[in-house]
């Protein structure tokens, strides 16, 4: 047996469960042997590189199960309001962007709780950008803040009716305020100058660099297709994968157009086949069944609290159509990646999977992302139907936006069902985790911290309030082992890559993350950082070689 190229000893190994072994040997892009320090050290030859973890944790590379990497990269390179959490900070960044000689001012990343009343207005933006269109997408991508020049260019007036699945926000006098929700945002963003392919490539590679620095070696892009202000990332993935520049292991969900009915099934299957033959590993179809609670577009069983008796949020796809669509996708052996935020949307997604199981028998493992509210009657159905709960763990804390804008709309009863991670786990649900970046930070250590403590990480500038330091529904905390599994192997299992990723075992790909210390108590995630990231045995990030890129 030839000597390994690299050995790591002295590690607290997670496979992803805590392992009795402390060392690994790596040859080529694979882990060849896992064992004790003595066993692995004995394999080393004169040319073997030796790494001593000195007791620190070594995990399978993180796998983000729900991310928008191109949008995240574009945000990093553009007017990135995510780096501030105040009106003064936003004004400074927008002024700086407006000083550039661009035909439009385009940016993203603002939080509603920064503004009086929860939403920004065009008057504020007119002051900063008076001379040309400005369009700034919210951090959750469900709202677009525009100035008067942008409204005028789009021909939007106070009298323009709301488009399907969208809303033009108006004040008490009926005047358009400059806030466009969901599909209404497209009325303006479709007029913006298209981004150059070279900028998209640069953005995707900037995203990859940041994600490597956070220990992410695999990710699942949750939307391949055009959605709101986000450009279609499929051509950028195709080109960067083909050129060899994108080396992270990427799978994705092909976007189901929300207005399409079951007659679209043959076309989506043809698009999946075309994307795959172009080198993009499509593993599922993305179906958006509702919006978000903060603007009352999430679909709820009972009405929103304090709004109106009719305000329950719309189902994007009629439940009978959804059942037929999911049955068709399932019959083709493909998985469905649902967006389900409200308890009614979650129930409709589960009902659609139940219809597919009844018709097709056991089939692909489907998944529902977000799960802000799950009715207690539906918690057991995840395990029964083989549906994965795709969690965005960093959301499960009482930051100011959640306390001020979201929980009041849910009311005290439903607030006890908010992000029921622990309940889902105890009910046997299969779990995966992802960040939904750029909606929120892509840092898995932050997500794991919040999954296990239900508090905000100390460094998160979007959660500076006292309530974010107190565990939100402590019974819904996960243990570190369960959370690590969800952010590694659990995610690989729903992306079809578990045969070679998500493990620290002989024969698995040498995709590893070395931390700066061990993981013990649930609070430990917020105290450690990534020391080194290995992709197929090669170092793609080392903290001591260069600092982490700016961002989170």
Least distance CB 290 / Zn ion (angstroms): 13
Q: Which of 324, 436 has the CB closer to Zn ion?
A: 436
Residues interacting with Zn ion, by CB under 5 A?
222, 436
Q: Is 62 exposed, middle or buried (CB count within 10 Å of its CB: 0-12, 13-18, 19+)?
A: buried
Q: 259 preceded by cis ω (within 30°)?
A: no
Q: Which of 395, 541 has the CB closer to Zn ion?
A: 395
Angle between helices 444-453 and 480-487 (to 10 degrees): 140
Return the HEC string of 230-281. Answer: ECCCHHHHHHHHHCCCCCCEEEEEEECCCCCCHHHHHHHHHHHHHHHHCCCE
CA distances from 75 to 21, 253, 490 (A): 41, 21, 28
Q: Which of 313, 537 has the CB closer to Zn ion?
A: 313
Phi/psi of residue 33, nearest 5 degrees: -140, 145
Distance CA 238, CA 234 (A): 6
Least distance CB 215 / Zn ion (angstroms): 20
Handedness of CA 381, 384, 388, 393 (dihedral sign): positive
Q: Which of 222, 272 has the CB closer to Zn ion?
A: 222
Distance CA 219, CA 63 (A): 5
55: number of CA atoms within 13 Å, CB side?
3
Q: Which of 128, 431 has the CB closer to Zn ion?
A: 431
324: number of CA atoms within 13 Å, CB side?
12
Q: Which of 144, 222 has the CB closer to Zn ion?
A: 222
Least distance CB 28 / Zn ion (angstroms): 35
Q: Which of 9, 253 has the CB closer to Zn ion?
A: 253
Least distance CB 211 / Zn ion (angstroms): 15
Distance CA 433, CA 367 (A): 11
Q: How far is CA 421 from the centre of its chain?
A: 16
Least distance CB 66 / Zn ion (angstroms): 6
Q: Which of 107, 252 has the CB closer to Zn ion?
A: 252
CB 143 within 8 A of CB 180: yes
Least distance CB 372 / Zn ion (angstroms): 13
Least distance CB 67 / Zn ion (angstroms): 8
Least distance CB 224 / Zn ion (angstroms): 12
């Amino acid at each position: 047996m030839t000597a390994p190229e690299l050995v790591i000893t002295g590690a607290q190994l997670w496979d992803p469960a805590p392992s009795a072994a402390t060392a690994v040997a790596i040859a080529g892009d694979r882990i060849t042997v896992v064992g004790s320090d003595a066993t692995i050290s004995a394999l080393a030859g004169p040319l073997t590189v030796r790494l001593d973890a000195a007791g620190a944790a070594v995990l399978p590379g993180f796998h983000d199960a729900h991310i928008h990497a191109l949008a995240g990269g574009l945000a990093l390179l553009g007017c990135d309001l995510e780096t501030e959490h105040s009106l003064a900070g936003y004004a400074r960044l927008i002024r700086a962007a407006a000083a550039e000689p661009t035909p439009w001012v385009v940016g993203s990343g603002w939080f509603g709780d920064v503004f009086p009343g929860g939403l920004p207005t065009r008057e504020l933006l007119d002051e900063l950008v008076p001379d040309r269109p400005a369009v700034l997408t919210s951090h959750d991508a469900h709202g677009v803040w525009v100035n008067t020049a942008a409204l005028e260019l789009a021909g939007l007036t106070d009298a323009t009716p709301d488009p399907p699945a969208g809303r033009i926000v108006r004040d008490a006098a009926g005047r358009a305020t400059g806030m466009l929700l969901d599909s209404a945002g497209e009325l303006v963003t479709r007029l913006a100058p298209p981004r150059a392919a070279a900028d998209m490539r640069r953005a995707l590679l900037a995203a990859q660099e940041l994600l490597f620095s956070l220990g992410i070696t695999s990710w699942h892009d949750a939307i391949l297709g055009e959605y709101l202000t986000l450009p279609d990332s499929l051509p950028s993935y195709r080109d960067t994968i083909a050129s060899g520049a994108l080396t992270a292991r990427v799978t994705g969900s092909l976007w189901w157009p929300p207005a399409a009915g079951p007659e679209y099934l043959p076309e989506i299957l043809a698009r999946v086949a075309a994307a795959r033959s172009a080198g993009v590993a499509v593993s599922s179809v993305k179906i958006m069944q509702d919006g978000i609670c903060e603007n009352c577009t999430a679909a709820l069983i009972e009405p929103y609290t304090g709004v109106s008796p009719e305000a329950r949020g719309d189902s994007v796809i009629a439940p009978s159509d959804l059942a037929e669509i999911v049955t068709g996708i399932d019959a083709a052996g493909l998985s469905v990646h649902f967006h389900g935020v409200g308890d009614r949307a979650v129930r409709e997604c589960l009902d659609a999977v139940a219809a597919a199981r009844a018709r097709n028998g056991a089939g692909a493992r489907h998944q529902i992302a977000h799960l802000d509210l799950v009715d207690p009657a539906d918690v057991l159905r995840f395990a029964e139907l083989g549906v994965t709960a795709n969690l965005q763990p960093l959301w499960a804390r009482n930051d100011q936006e959640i306390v001020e804008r979201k929980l009041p709309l849910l009311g005290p009863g439903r607030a006890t069902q908010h992000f029921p991670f622990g309940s889902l786990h105890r009910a046997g649900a299969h779990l995966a985790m992802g960040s939904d970046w750029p909606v929120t930070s892509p840092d898995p250590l932050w997500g794991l911290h919040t999954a296990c403590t239900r508090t905000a990480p100390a460094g998160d500038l979007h959660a500076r309030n006292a309530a974010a330091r107190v565990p939100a529904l402590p019974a819904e905390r996960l243990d570190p082992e369960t959370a690590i599994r969800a952010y590694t192997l659990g995610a690989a299992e729903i992306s079809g890559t578990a045969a070679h990723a998500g493990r620290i075992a002989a024969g698995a790909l040498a995709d590893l993350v070395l931390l700066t210390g061990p993981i013990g108590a649930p609070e430990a995630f917020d105290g450690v950082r990534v020391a080194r990231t290995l992709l197929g045995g090669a170092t793609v990030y080392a903290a001591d070689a260069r600092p982490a890129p700016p961002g989170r």
